[in-house]
């Protein structure tokens, strides 16, 4: 092999790696559906909390049903997406790492929020999910995704704002989910629609 041939081979490898490394397939529906499901859950939590404080009893039952339905839709969508990904033609190592990161972050938040209510009581549980989302989105941002960086900022800002505006805490956390998390899903869906 001469030098020009070696140069051609290295150029070929460089082209393939730059194409495949930037090819991470995010599934917009995962962000959109989970974002809205979490937001609805926060809103229901806020309504319940306000009703409890005002002494007017439980929140409307249709609101509870809506939260339950949103959670079921999100889980079903998650199962369908995972099944589709398993039969896909290619799965990137980065995509696999991101999936594991999301699983670990939200899994930990879920175990702590539901398993240790003595420590994470009141708004600590719902807030922890916003924090988990911020950490997971930051991991995507580290792959060079600026939109995920902005979404991370939105999730963190929602926690800080919720800390200072106690009467609207649930609505602010919900806004974080809609703008930061579902909004990122919409942003991921945009290039596909245009391209």
Q: At what angle do helices 146-164 and 124-141 cross, to 10 degrees?
A: 160
Q: Does 93 bind another protein (CB under 8 A)?
A: yes
87, 164, 191, 194: which one binds another protein (CB under 8 A): 87
Q: Is 7 in the site for another protein (CB under 8 A)?
A: yes
Q: Residue 9, interface with another protein (CB under 8 A)?
A: yes
Residue 142 touches another protein, criterion: CB under 8 A:
no
CA dist 161 and 156 (Å) reads 9
Site for another protein contains 143 (CB under 8 A): no
Nearer to another protein, 20 or 108 (CB): 20
54 binds another protein (CB under 8 A): no
Residues in the chain: 195
* Residue entry with tokens 């889980």: 75
Among candidate residues 100, 103, 102, 90, the one with its CA nearest the CA of residue 23: 90
CA Rg, the chain, in Å?
Answer: 20
Binding site for another protein (CB under 8 A): 1, 3, 6-10, 12-13, 16-17, 20-21, 23, 87, 89-96
């Amino acid at each position: 092999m001469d030098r020009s041939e070696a140069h051609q081979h290295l150029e070929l490898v460089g082209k393939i790696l730059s194409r495949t490394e930037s090819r991470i397939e995010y599934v917009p529906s995962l962000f959109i559906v989970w974002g809205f499901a979490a937001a609805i859950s926060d809103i229901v939590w806020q309504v319940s909390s306000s009703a409890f404080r005002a002494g007017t009893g439980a929140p409307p039952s249709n609101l509870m049903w809506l939260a339950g339905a949103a959670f079921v839709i999100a889980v079903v969508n998650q199962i369908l997406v995972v099944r589709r990904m398993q039969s896909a033609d290619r799965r990137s190592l980065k995509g696999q790492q991101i999936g594991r990161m999301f699983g670990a972050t939200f899994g930990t938040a879920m175990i702590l929020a539901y398993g240790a209510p003595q420590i994470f009581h009141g708004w600590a549980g719902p807030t922890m999910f916003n924090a988990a989302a911020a950490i997971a989105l930051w991991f995507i941002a580290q792959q060079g995704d600026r939109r995920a960086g902005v979404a991370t900022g939105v999730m963190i800002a929602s926690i800080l704002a919720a800390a200072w505006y106690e009467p609207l805490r649930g609505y602010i956390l919900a806004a974080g989910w809609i703008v930061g998390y579902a909004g990122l899903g919409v942003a991921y869906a945009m290039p596909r629609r245009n391209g």
